[in-house]
Amino acid sequence: MNSDDLAKRLLAGDKRALARAITLVENDDPAGWDLVRAAYPHTGHAKVMGLTGPPGVGKSTLIGAIITALRARDETVAALSIDPSSPFTHGALLGDRIRLTEHFLDPGVFIRSMANRGALGGLSEATLQAVLLMDAAGRDNVLIETVGVGQAEVDVIDHADTIVLALMPGSGDSVQALKAGVMEIPDVIVVNKADHPMTDTLVREIRGVLALGMPDDGWTPPVVCTQAAHGIGIDELVSAIDAHRAHIIERGTLEQRRRRNLENEVLEIATINLRREIEAVLAGDEHVREMLDQVVARKLDPASAAREILRRRPGAH
Ligand SMILES: Nc1nc2c(ncn2[C@@H]2O[C@H](COP(=O)(O)OP(=O)(O)OP(=O)(O)O)[C@@H](O)[C@H]2O)c(=O)[nH]1
Ligand SMILES: [Mg+2]
């Protein structure tokens, strides 16, 4: 299949073309970049939701349940599961596949996992490309799942219009990331495994943290309790996500948020390329090697060495 055909089939919503396109991007195949370029003007229509939270909190189960709810409204879905922590172990992803099997045969549902650093060497960048392809393929909803609450996950999740944080009762430190300000306050907080006796305690703790931050755009993140494994609370969760979307559209913050994220992404890609250029200079330049020796010997300070390296970059003046 040539790339024109692939682009046509992708834009027509063909699931196999979409799968192939994402693989190309993930493998840093130039054809993947051509596809994203061709697809880009057709993006911006999907509702993008990002779900993050600690391992085993029930993210995949929640995604499965949300997919069921969205399908009941006749909306199409693409789900992307990202695992930044373990590029080589596919255990969690295998678990995801098992939890999402009921949707595999539905032509309205596309499910994909990604653990590769991908094209540009940044997981966030690879995620964005995959999201763009899913969006261009006409999916009404794109759901991104990523494990953890650290910086890498936050970067990945930044491509979402609505960010949902899943927590579970009984794992004491789960509110810490919020408290410590590791992540921005999410748009919706879901307390899953609400069948656990400590649920009310966790909800109280979360509300306590939320009370500290002043929402500046008139949105207070709702805290929704669910039992994803039993389909309980899912309608409330989907309503909360819908309500957030309506809010950011009305306020104009959807446009602002997308603008900010796309600007960040352009700068990030430029930064990655610049770093590659610099590394190429470092690898091949005997003078640079000697200079680094001088830094190690405490004869030259790191900032002066860095300035010199930038001067030696091809095209620098
Ligand atoms: N008791 C209880 N168990 C649940 C609930 N929701 C999900 N689980 C179980 O929790 C386990 C983990 O669920 P997953 O959906 O795989 O969690 P995850 O957050 O996607 O896990 P990772 O992707 O590995 O981080 C599974 O055994 C689920 O069946 C719930 O509401 N109550
Ligand atoms: Mg999972």
C-beta of 174 in contact with ligand 1 (< 6 A): no
C-beta of 229 in contact with ligand 1 (< 6 A): yes
Ligand 1 centroid to residue 233 C-alpha, Å: 15
Residues with CB under 5 A from ligand 2 (ion): 59-60, 96
Dihedral-angle region of residue 114 (phi above 0 means left; psi in -120 to 50 means alpha; beta otherwise): beta
Determine which helix (DSSP H) or strand (DSSP E) holds 199, and give its type and residue range: helix 199-212
Q: Cα(96)–Cα(119) distance, rounded to whole angstroms?
A: 23
pLDDT at 29: 84
Ligand 2 centroid to residue 248 C-alpha, Å: 27
Q: Where are the beta strands (DSSP E) in 123-267?
A: 141-147, 162-167, 188-191, 223-225
51-67 pLDDT, tens digit per residue, is 988 888 999 999 999 99
Q: What is the pTM of this model?
A: 0.88
C-beta of 93 in contact with ligand 1 (< 6 A): no
C-beta of 167 in contact with ligand 1 (< 6 A): no
Tell the residue nearest (CA) to atom 31 of ligand 1.
227
Domains in the chain, CATH or no CATH each: 44-125+135-251 (3.40.50.300), 266-312 (no CATH)
Tell the residue nearest (CA) to atom 29 of ligand 1.
229
Instruction: Kindly indicate the confidence band of residue 91, based on its pLDDT and cuts at 50, 70 and 90.
Output: very low
Ligand closest to the CA atom of residue 153? 1
Say which residue, 95 or 149, is predicted with more confidence. Answer: 149
pLDDT at 77: 97
C-beta of 80 in contact with ligand 1 (< 6 A): no
Q: Cα(16)–Cα(272) distance, rounded to whole angstroms?
A: 30
Ligand 1 centroid to residue 202 C-alpha, Å: 17
104-144 pLDDT, tens digit per residue, is 788 999 998 886 554 455 677 888 899 999 999 999 999 99
Q: Cα(248)–Cα(46) distance, rounded to whole angstroms?
A: 15
pLDDT at 93 over 60: no
Query: Which whole number is the average pLDDT over 249-273?
Result: 90
* Six-digit token string for 177: 């990331």
pLDDT at 89: 42
